[in-house]
Amino acid sequence: MSSIQRFFVGVLAIVILLVAVLVTRTLGFTSKQIEVSEAEIAAIDTEAVAERLARGIRHRTISHSLEGPVEAEAFEALHAQLVRDFPRVHDALERETVAEWSLLYTWRGRRPDEPAVLLLAHQDVVPVDPNSIDAWTHPPFEGVVADGFVWGRGAIDDKGSMFAILEAVEALVSLGFEPERTLLLAFGHDEEIGGDQGATSIANLLKQRGEKVDFVLDEGGAVTLDTISIVQDPVAVVGVAEKGMASIALTVRSAGGHSSMPPPQSAVGIMAAAIAALEANPMPGRIDGTVDVMLDHLGPELDFPLKLVMANRWLFGPLLSAAFAAEPTLDAMQRTTTAATVFNGGVKPNVLPSRVDAVVNFRVLPGDSVEDVRQHVLRTIDDERIEVRVMDANREPSAIAPIDSPAFEAIRATISSHFPSAIVTPYLVVGGTDSRYFGGLTDNIYRFMPFEFTARDRERMHGTDERIAIHTLTRAIAFYRALIERTAGAAFQSD
Ligand SMILES: [Zn+2]
């Protein structure tokens, strides 16, 4: 053989070897879904269930802002409604009011030393933009039941969950179910403005009491019908972590003066350059941690070419990262994101501003820290004329909950039996939930609401025409009932 022939034989051998490795890894990339039989959904009075949630929506339990007043009367009216509508819950469970308007229910188990099951939801809702009122099919706080839906602010987020949990417990009490381990229900009143009062106080109270908690289930993930475009089936995403947040305040001060003899850069120009630099240089993306775990669960369910890519992330990782970067919802899962949100400066067309302020909001990926963000900002701006300050409202990313815990197995099995066509996968919640305050009580913190959603439904949540289908609500009730039976019943062994 000539040396050229030897070269081509060598290249061919490498190509064959590479293909063999790729295909072998793809064949070994097997499904992580579990086989369970489909749950039978017990018959319930759907009309009554819908009406109770509709009544709950009529209480305007709006969280306005940290500085704003609390809608005390609305919360008190909601609390009174719960007593009337869920008499068995209030008979069998102890109810405490915490931080004035948050609620903690305790259903003490027969084995009180076993760690408890803790289900979270929140009573408060976001305000309705006054300019959008006319666009609502039914007024947002009228609690209308029509066309198979319960309409109004909070129908999904998060009164839908709270009522589904209470309906489930009400049914269990009436059936004579008695929990083996303690069941705790915690419904905060200020989740939409950070949970600094409600969830924080409940978590502290449980810690003070030495209450042991096996796992927490809060809002966060859901069964998404059309959000993940590469998968045909519904995907049940269960949050195993949530991002942190760092708002960085930037300030430029200058001498000011008349605009007729300006320096080359005014305070506005200096700040604009800084913001442009931060947007052009985001923190690096990486396919690891929660994204890795998610692709391990989704990948085996994909068609061959995509499955091959997912199975060989050692080779295609950079390509995948670039593909994620092109799609904001995916990009948010692989990096600490940068969003310039506030820019103030200047008062008159002919006056150089003496001060310009901006705020850039970063959502911090697990693995990065608030301090990493501060360092990144200083490095990227690299301009001593700009003061950089981390604002108070910051938080580190959560820990990543285990997916080999009995609690996760129970949640996963309950999802599969109630949503048989759904692929179940762990994922990263890019927003914030009340659950982060419970980190000191257990590692097993999961974020999932048992509702089916389209992308449009997700927009409704803090937008216009929030609503929940009655059949979605009844399935959620069945889910919570089954989960409570499974985890607070006799069969469950925690780790
Ligand atoms: Zn919520």
pLDDT tens series, the chain, 495 aa: 788 889 999 999 999 999 999 999 999 999 999 888 898 888 899 999 999 999 999 999 999 988 888 999 999 999 999 999 999 999 999 999 999 999 999 999 999 999 999 999 999 999 999 999 999 999 999 999 999 999 999 999 999 999 999 999 999 999 999 999 999 999 999 999 999 899 999 999 999 999 999 999 999 999 999 877 778 899 999 999 999 999 999 999 998 888 898 999 999 999 999 999 999 999 999 998 999 999 999 999 999 889 999 999 999 999 999 999 998 989 999 999 999 999 999 999 999 999 999 999 999 999 999 999 999 999 999 999 999 999 987 899 999 999 999 999 999 999 999 999 999 999 999 999 999 999 999 999 999 999 998 888 888 988 999 999 999 999 999 999 999 999 999 777 765
Cis peptide upstream of residue 157 (ω within 30 degrees of 0): no
Cα 123 to middle of ligand 1, angstroms: 9
**Lookup result for tokens 């300050």:** 389
User: 61: CA distance to ligand 1 center in Å?
Assistant: 13
Is this prediction's pTM over 0.75?
yes
| Token pair in block for residue 474 | 């009844």
Specify the DSSP element, H or E, that contains 168.
helix 159-174
Match 């108070």 to its residue by tokens.
Answer: 392
Q: How far is CA 485 from CA 154, 254, 285, 331, 405, in A?
A: 27, 65, 41, 38, 17
Peptide bond into 465 cis (omega under 30): no
What is the assigned CATH class of domain 46-223+401-488? alpha beta
Cα separation of 388 and 369, whole Å?
A: 16
* Ranges in the chain annotated CATH 3.30.70.360: 244-390
Residue 484 CA to residue 233 CA, distance in Å, equals 27
d(CA 287, CA 335): 9
In angstroms, rounded to a whole number, what is the distance separating the alpha carbons of residues 251 and 389?
9
Do residues 451 and 121 lie in contact, with contact meaning Cβ atoms separated by under 8 Å?
no
Interval between CA 448 and ligand 1 midpoint (Å) = 11
Calculate how far, in angstroms, residue 461's C-alpha sits from the geometric centre of ligand 1: 8
The confidence score (pLDDT) of residue 191 equals 95
Contact 342, 231 (CB under 8 A): no
464 burial level (CB within 10 Å; 0-12, 13-18, 19+): middle
pLDDT at 407: 97
Catalytically active residues are 124, 191
CA dihedral 191→194→198→201, nearest 10 degrees, is 150
**CATH of segment(s) 244-390:** 3.30.70.360
CA distance 168 to 162: 10
**Nearest Cα to 450, choosing from 240, 229, 236?**
236
**How far is Cα 121 from Cα 264, in angstroms, rounded to an integer?**
54
Residue 87, pLDDT score = 98
Distance 159 CA to ligand 1 centre (A): 9
Q: What's the 70 CA to ligand 1 centre distance in angstroms?
A: 17
Distance in Å, CA 265 to ligand 1 centroid: 44
Separation of alpha carbons 51 and 43, rounded Å: 16
158 C-alpha vs ligand 1 centroid, how far in Å? 5
C-alpha span between 437 and 441 (Å, rounded): 9
Whole-number Å distance, alpha carbon 388 to ligand 1 midpoint, is 31
| DSSP letter (8 states) at residue 442 | -
In Å, how far are 416, 419, 481, 482, 484 from 40, measured between CA atoms? 12, 11, 12, 10, 15
CA 258 / ligand 1 centre spacing (Å): 49
Q: How far is the CA of 261 from the centre of ligand 1 (A)?
A: 52
* Residues β-bridged to residue 107: 183
Phi, psi of 236 (to 5 degrees): -90, 110
For residue 337, give the nearest of 373, 381, 383 by alpha carbon. Answer: 373
